[in-house]
């Protein structure tokens, strides 16, 4: 019995070239988009943790567990540490103002100032975490909250009692300078100012900002470089 030969059809060189070309085009489009998405995902997760840690201490103050609460940021090399500290209501009268006009004490001055330290990790009401996934716009900073806002104060890179910085900028690691993208904008009021227009700069990376008020209102926003505005998250 004679067998019937099977016709096996393979790919032609032209078909292989077309497939490889399509794969190359899809990869060229997809990989940068994935990298951008992944970078934003990492920074967003860290920014949300910062927002949550600030919210946690302001909430404990508003609940009355602490009469005075602190949010602290410390940068050491690539590592950024975030922590909160709390002073019990009963100790405000004897501790606040004891060292002059400074309210938001940190470092050696704060060893017997705060009742609970987040870095000690002994009390659930205060927090601590460290990361090397992001950059921030400060190197060492503290801000403090009280329930009625009367003791709202800053220290180090977050200002002082009279001029409190109410934001922290959080950026991707590849961002050359982590700062407010609107910092160099010129506001014109009333009259126009002649001069060279500012040069366009490349997107400096993923930038989020966590902001707070003296009454503990905390907000997270992301910078949209396409529309040049902050988008509430």
Q: From CA 110, how far away is CA 90, in angstroms rounded?
A: 17
> CB-based contacts of 124: which residues, under 8 Å, 6+ apart?
none
Longest dimension (CA), the chain: 110
Q: What is the pLDDT of residues 138-151, one digit of tens each?
A: 999 999 999 999 99
Q: Among residues 210, 134, 225, which one has the least CA distance to residue 172?
A: 134
Distance of CA 98 to the CA centre of its chain: 33
Q: From CA 104, how far away is CA 63, in angstroms rounded?
A: 20
- Give strand pairing partners of 146: 68
Q: From CA 231, how far away is CA 233, in angstroms rounded?
A: 6
Out of 19-23, 86-90, 172-176, which region has the weakest mean confidence (pLDDT)?
19-23
Question: Average pLDDT, stretch 203-212?
Answer: 85
Residue owning tokens 């949010």: 71
pLDDT of res. 200: 38
Half-sphere exposure of 80 (CA within 13 A, CB side): 22
Residue 87 has pLDDT above 70, yes or no: yes
pLDDT of res. 50: 98
> CB-based contacts of 78: which residues, under 8 Å, 6+ apart?
132, 173
Q: What is the pLDDT of residues 112-143, one digit of tens each?
A: 999 999 999 889 899 999 999 999 999 999 99
pLDDT of res. 116: 96
Confidence of residue 18 (pLDDT cuts 50, 70, 90): confident
Q: What is the DSSP string of the chain?
A: -PPPPP------HHHHHHHHHHHHHHHHHHHHHHHHHHHHHHHHHHHHHHHHHHHHHHHHHHHTSEEEEEEEEEEETTEEEEEEEEEEGGGHHHHTTTTTT--S--GGGGTTT-SEEGGGT--TTS-EEEESSEEES-SEEEEEEETTSTT-EEEETTB-SSSB--EEEEEETT-SS-S-TTTTPPP--SS---SPPPPP------EEEEEE-TT--EEEEEEETTTTEEEE-
């Amino acid at each position: 019995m004679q067998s019937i030969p099977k016709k096996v059809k393979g790919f032609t060189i032209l078909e292989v070239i077309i497939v490889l070309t399509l794969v190359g085009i899809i990869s060229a489009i997809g990989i940068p988009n994935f990298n951008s998405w992944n970078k934003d995902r990492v920074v967003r997760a860290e920014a949300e943790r910062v927002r949550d840690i600030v919210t946690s201490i302001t909430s404990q103050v508003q609940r009355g567990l602490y009469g005075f609460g602190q949010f602290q940021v410390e940068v050491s090399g690539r590592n950024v540490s975030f922590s909160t500290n709390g002073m019990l209501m009963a100790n405000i009268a004897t501790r606040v103002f004891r060292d002059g006009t400074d309210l938001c004490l940190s470092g050696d001055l704060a060893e017997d100032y705060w009742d609970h330290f987040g870095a000690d990790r002994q009390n659930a009401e205060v927090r601590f975490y460290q990361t090397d996934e992001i950059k921030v716009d400060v190197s060492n900073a503290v801000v403090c909250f009280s329930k009625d806002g009367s003791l709202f104060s800053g220290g180090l890179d977050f200002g002082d009692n009279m001029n409190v910085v109410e934001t922290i900028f959080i950026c991707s690691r590849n961002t050359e300078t982590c700062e407010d993208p609107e910092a160099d904008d010129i506001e014109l009021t009333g009259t126009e100012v002649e001069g060279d227009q500012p040069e366009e700069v490349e997107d400096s990376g993923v930038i989020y900002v966590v902001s707070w008020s003296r009454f503990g209102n905390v907000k997270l926003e992301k910078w949209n470089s396409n529309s040049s505005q902050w988008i509430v998250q």
